[in-house]
Amino acid sequence: MKQKIELLLWPDETGLTPFRLFLLKVLRVVYVSIMDLIGGQLSLRAMSLVYTTLLSIVPLLALSFSVLKAMGAHNEIEPFLFQFLAPLGEQGVGIGENIIGFIDNIKVGVLGSVGLGLLIYTVLSLVHKIENTFNMIWHVETTRSIGERFSSYLSVILIGPVMMVSALGMTATVMSSSVVSYFMEIEPFGSLIVMATKLLPYMMVMSVFAFIYMFMPNTRVRFVPALIGAVVAGFLWETSGLLFATFVVNSTKYTAIYSSFAIVIMLLIWLYISWLVLLFGSNLAFYVQNPSSLRVSREGFEISNRVKERLALQLMQMIAENHVKGDKLLTLDELTEKAGVPHTLVRYVMKKLILKRLVAQSNEDPTGYLPAKSLDALMLGDVIYAVRSAEEDKHVSIDVMTLPKSALDIAVSIDDSVEQALQGRSVRDLVVEADEQ
């Protein structure tokens, strides 16, 4: 069944109309995102974040509320908490009031340096775990440094609520202005303003989701993919909230079975659904930004030596030509687009070239790539060796393998042939030969 669906979604594109090609691309992204959801990796991450959220939600809100209290605006943020718990019905209001009570009992000013440090550590640990989850979705292996975490995380946690309250205040001011009141009396502007007011909660949720998708992964996420993922996730979150609220209302028998524990179970389920929707939106944004990765399995991929070698040569040539021309450094996304292969494979080969010090990374954002040495000193044999010997230092090296003499002679002759074919040839030769063609 899976093979039949993939044959329909990845047909020969020759002669297809632009509209049908666009429709196929949309269906591919939706299909692969749903398959990732069914695969269970996102579900496991969502369940892990539920546990972390339960431990950290009070310190997180306490830290944010303390900043808002200093501005006298802490009451403005409470509706967001109650809106999140709204699908739990009346019991959700009780949970929200308990959380607010816990927060009020935490006196940040009298915690002392050790208590405040533990409070901040708990919050940073939550955000760090969230970052790791988003990095998994975006195939990013490196996390932010400790300094970056401290500055970036705290700035969002402390300044984010202030910005949100300010945006709400500005919206309320605009909606109550005389100009808006004047247009409210004129149709169809009045109906449009009423509709915009009803859509405002959806837009706020989608804006928050888009910000999370762009900020959390330790890589550059473009605005349009983040917005598409946020719109889909925001719609799913609001819809699932309505459905879950209906489920809670009709769950009287669960209350009879679990008694007072029923609301705890409902809260866990709602947290799980919320995280799953949020991660699904980020997963969707990844495929929108990296359509070349649609056919690469998230559980891992297999790549032949021939593909690795040719991709390494292609990437080195592109970086070298760009360096000779003096153009702006190519980023990973630009290299992927030029190479026309999955994003994950490009990242894999680039990592091997960097490890062997053939390619260097810039300190810019986004990261650019340039030759690590003079093009005359970068030998093609080293480029091929970088990918042919990949993973030997982690797993099995050829030095520990014992082969029969006949098999060993063949293996050595293959290595000698490769070395002889590339003898004395440098990356500069790739650039010169490309210019002559």
Domain ranges across the chain = 40-293, 305-436
What pLDDT score does 114 carry?
63
User: Residues 181-235: pLDDT tens digits?
Assistant: 655 566 665 666 566 666 776 777 788 888 889 888 888 888 899 999 999 998 8
pLDDT at 72 over 60: no
**Cα–Cα distance between 434 and 437 in angstroms, integer?**
5
Listed in sequence order, the DSSP H helices in 290-378 are: 305-325, 332-339, 343-355
Least confident residue range of 42-51, 88-97, 320-329: 88-97
Q: Is the pLDDT of residue 175 over 60?
A: no
pLDDT (tens digit, 9 = 90+) per residue, 365-417?
A: 778 899 998 888 888 888 888 888 877 766 666 766 777 888 878 888 888 88
High-pLDDT (> 70) share of the chain, %: 69
Closest CA to 85 of 61, 120, 121: 61
108 has a pLDDT exceeding 60: no
Average pLDDT over residues 66-86: 64
Fold of 305-436: Arc Repressor Mutant, subunit A (1.10.10)
Q: CA–CA separation, 131 vs 123, rounded Å?
A: 13
- Predicted confidence band at 344 (pLDDT cuts at 50, 70, 90)? confident
Q: What percent of the chain has pLDDT over 90?
A: 7
The predicted pLDDT at position 338 comes to 86
The 10s digit of each residue's pLDDT in 254-300 is: 555 555 667 777 878 888 988 999 999 999 999 898 887 777 665 55
Q: Does 109 or 408 have the greater pLDDT score?
A: 408
Alpha-helix residue ranges (DSSP H) falling in 216-250: 223-249
pTM over 0.85: no
Q: Looking at residue 398, what DSSP letter applies?
A: G
The C-alpha angle 189, 195, 201, rounded to 5 degrees, equals 140
Q: Among 77-91, 181-195, 287-301, 310-324, whose mean pLDDT is lowest?
A: 181-195
What pLDDT is recorded for position 281? 92
- Quote the pLDDT of residue 337: 83
Burial code of 410-425, b = ≥16 C-beta within 10 A, e = fewer? Answer: eeeeeeeebeeebeee
CA distances from 37 to 45, 166, 278 (A): 11, 36, 12
The two tokens of residue 36 are 């990732």
pLDDT at 1: 67
Q: Is residue 103 predicted with pLDDT exceeding 60?
A: yes
Rounded Cα gap, residues 167 and 172, in angstroms: 9
Question: What number is the average pLDDT over the span 62-83?
Answer: 64
Region 109-123: mean pLDDT is 65
3-state secondary structure of 64: helix
| Average pLDDT value over all residues in the chain | 77
Give me the phi and psi of 12, to 5 degrees please: -70, 120
Per-residue pLDDT at 73 exceeds 70: no
Give residue 333's pLDDT band: very low, low, confident or very high (50, 70, 90): confident
Give φ, ψ of 184 to 5 degrees.
Answer: -60, -30
Instruction: Name the token pair of 118.
Output: 């533990």
The two tokens of residue 49 are 């974040």
Mapped onto helix, strand or coil, the DSSP state of residue 18 is helix
Write down the pLDDT at residue 284.
92
Q: Where is 359: in which H helix or E strand?
A: strand 359-361
Categorize the per-residue pLDDT at 145 as very low, low, confident or very high, splitting at 50, 70 and 90.
Answer: confident
For residue 229, what pLDDT is reported? 92
Question: Average of pLDDT values for 321-334?
Answer: 87
Contact 343, 292 (CB under 8 A): yes
Most confident of 48-62, 122-136, 321-335: 321-335
Q: How far is Cα 29 from Cα 106, in angstroms, rounded to an integer?
A: 45
Tokens found for residue 121:
């550590």
